[in-house]
Structure 1
Amino acid sequence: MKAVQINGYSKNLKAHINDIPIPRIDKHQVLIKMYAAGVDPHLKLAINGKVRVFDQYKFPLTLGIDVSGVIEAVGQDVRDLITGDSVYALLPLNTMGAFAEYVVADASIVAKMPKNLSFEEAAAVPLSALTVVQALNVLKVKAGSKLFIPGGTGGFGQIAIPYAKSKKLFVAVSGDESSRHVASSIGADHFIDYQRQDYVKLLKDFDYVIDTRGASEFRKELSILKSGGKLLSLIAGPNARFAARQGGFSTIQKFIFSAIGMPFDIAAYLQHKTYDFLYVQPNGVQLKNITQWIDETGVKPIIDSTFPFSQVNEAIAKIAQGTAKGKILLTIPRR
């Protein structure tokens, strides 16, 4: 089969299409014939090695984590899925493998696709949806509270906004002016044009921030939180709280995470606020709940652009630009 692979970490964001064997399944796994895959910002970090503190990849590495396709074979102990099911999944970030004609996944992380989504739309959901579900769980959000997502108009925000609204949160986001209509149409209560407006001057007494920008925005984001508020970053850096909550890390990793997060923890503590970090994990149960939510609400992800398998490097270059107005997708040849 064809697979998009890299042979090692590199600042050069280029991959190669190689011929590799179709993987075999064990009794707990399913084999998925791929139809589409999401092209996510995590991809850039994986290629250039910036996630090595979490994941030590084995090379050659098949890229991609967002999966949609049809089950071709099931292991003997798999009960809830059968051959022919249309499914989607988030693959483990420490193994990846979605940019291929076939993918093997543990049945526990796979869910049936929402009925109203195409394969391309379904591939746009798992990473974004699981990230917002897990983020809101960590934050322990309460109905009526206020949430700010800086840069919340891309692929993540376009699932995060309607999902957060379904939890009865007030949601503010920032983006460029061209994103205002989209943000409003999917439920954002307050939109800030970051090119013309400073959210620090416009927002105050927020309960939560989900950071998608990183350390450069940390102090600004922290300043809009009320006393007792919580800032959860997807980028800035792990901390001891994250390591203790998520588990499975070595003693060395825990020490490193604690050291990385200490400046954020201290700054938040001095203002009577809390800093935390999230590195999203596959979860089939949560994804099944997302399927039900999408079926009930009719929510659809917004697609920025779709690239054929042969143009994977163009897709990677597009996601690296950071200007997408929705999800970037890779379509897999159907044979």
Structure 2
Amino acid sequence: MQAVQMSVYSPKLNVDINDISTPKIKDNQLLIKVMVAGVDPHIVLALTGKVKLFGRYDFPKTLGNELSGIVVEVGSQVNKFNAGDYVYTMPPLDDMGAFAEYIAVDADYVAQMPENLSFAQAAAVPLSGLTIMQILQMVKPKAGERLFISGGTGGFGQVAVPYAISKGLQVTVSGSKPSREIAEKLNAGFIDYMSTDYDQHEHIYDYVIDTRGVETVRKHLKLLKPGGRMISLNGGPNKRFAQRNQNFSYSRKILFSLIGFVLDNLAQLSKVQYDFLYVEANGEQLKQVTKFIEQTHFEPIIDSEYSFLQVNEAIKKITTQQSQGKVLLNLENTY
């Protein structure tokens, strides 16, 4: 079968399409024929080596973190899925593989596709859906509180915003001027980050989800009320993140605490709290996302869809941070 693979960490972001063996499943796994895969910013972090803090890949490594597809083989210990099922999934981030014709995934990470979504729409959901669900479970917000999502009209926001609104939160997003229309469709407030004076929005949000990273953390911390919380997806781990994960070694906890020292201190000076999330695969939570989608008839916004051979263009699109919705890689026509 064909697969998109990286063979080295590099800032060039170029990948190769290689012929590799179709994976053989374990007793607790499913073999899934991939129809559509989501292209997300974690791909860039993987290619450039920024994820080495969490574990190194064995090369060559097949890329791709989320997908929709059709079950073609079921492990002997799996009883909740059958061949022919339409499913979607986010495998663990350290065990990617969605950019391939077939993928073997532990059944515990898989859920039935929402009945109202196409393969393309379903592939836009898993990583973003699990991320916002895990953030809200961590901070436990109250209805009526205010949430700001930086760059919230892209692939993450187009799932995160409606899910957060369904929990009673007032959501505002930032983006370039053309993103305003997307924000309105999502029923979110909007800040044009190119022209709006952020000082006008200081100290009014209970929570900030940072998707941009270290260069914007200081700016976004100012948006929080005293006692507010920032959860970063890209700013880097910190002491609180390390303490929350019992599987980390003592030395890794010390490392993450040192890495996050500056950000933690910046937050403390602003009388707010900084935290970091590295989303985890979870099939049961994905089922809850499915329930939300089917009950609300939610349909994710798609920015663009690339063919398998256009994978480098798809990754380049992600680096612009100008996506109006989700970027997808269509594998349906590669067989």
Question: Quick check: TM above 0.5?
Answer: yes
Instruction: For residue 151 of structure 1, report the CA deviation from its aligned partner.
Output: 1.2
State how far apart, in whole Å, the 1-side matches of 2:218 and 2:44 are: 25
State how far apart, in whole Å, the 2-side matches of 1:77 and 1:46 are: 32
Partner of 2:181: 181
Contact 1:55 1:93 in 2 (8 A): no
Residues 302 and 86 (structure 1), Cα distance of their counterparts in 2 relative to 1, 3 Å cut:
same
Q: TM-score, normalised by structure 1?
A: 0.97
Q: Which amino acid aligns with 2:203?
A: K
Partner of 2:251: 252
Q: Which amino acid aligns with 1:219?
A: R
Contact 2:147 2:171 in 1 (8 A): yes
Instruction: For residue 89 of structure 1, report the CA deviation from its aligned partner.
Output: 0.4
For the residue of structure 2 that corresponds to 1:288, the secondary structure is helix
Deviation sequence 1:191-210 (CA, Å, 0-9, x none): 11111102232343311111
Partner of 1:112: 112
Instruction: For residue 333 of structure 1, report the CA deviation from its aligned partner.
Output: 3.5
Query: Within 5 A, what are the aligned runs for 1:138-157?
Result: 138-157=138-157
State how far apart, in whole Å, the 2-side matches of 1:313 and 1:212 are: 22
Do residues 45 (structure 1) and 66 (structure 2) align?
A: no
Instruction: For residue 101 of structure 1, report the CA deviation from its aligned partner.
Output: 0.4
Partner of 1:217: 216
Do residues 89 (structure 1) and 63 (structure 2) align?
A: no
State how far apart, in whole Å, the 1-side matches of 2:108 and 2:45 are: 26
For the residue of structure 2 that corresponds to 1:122, the secondary structure is helix
State how far apart, in whole Å, the 2-side matches of 1:20 and 1:114 are: 31
For the residue of structure 2 that corresponds to 1:213, the secondary structure is coil
Give percent identity, aligned residues only: 53
Partner of 1:162: 162
State how far apart, in whole Å, the 2-side matches of 1:71 and 1:102 are: 10
Cα-Cα RMSD: 1.2
Partner of 1:233: 232
Partner of 2:328: 329
Partner of 1:197: 196
Q: TM-score, normalised by structure 2?
A: 0.97
Unaligned runs of 5+ in 1: none
Unaligned runs of 5+ in 2: none
Instruction: For residue 175 of structure 1, report the CA deviation from its aligned partner.
Output: 0.9
State how far apart, in whole Å, the 2-side matches of 1:50 and 1:27 are: 33
Contact 1:116 1:298 in 2 (8 A): yes
For the residue of structure 2 that corresponds to 1:52, the secondary structure is helix
For the residue of structure 2 that corresponds to 1:147, the secondary structure is strand
Instruction: For residue 32 of structure 1, report the CA deviation from its aligned partner.
Output: 0.2
**Total equivalences in the alignment:** 334
Partner of 1:60: 60
Contact 1:200 1:220 in 2 (8 A): no
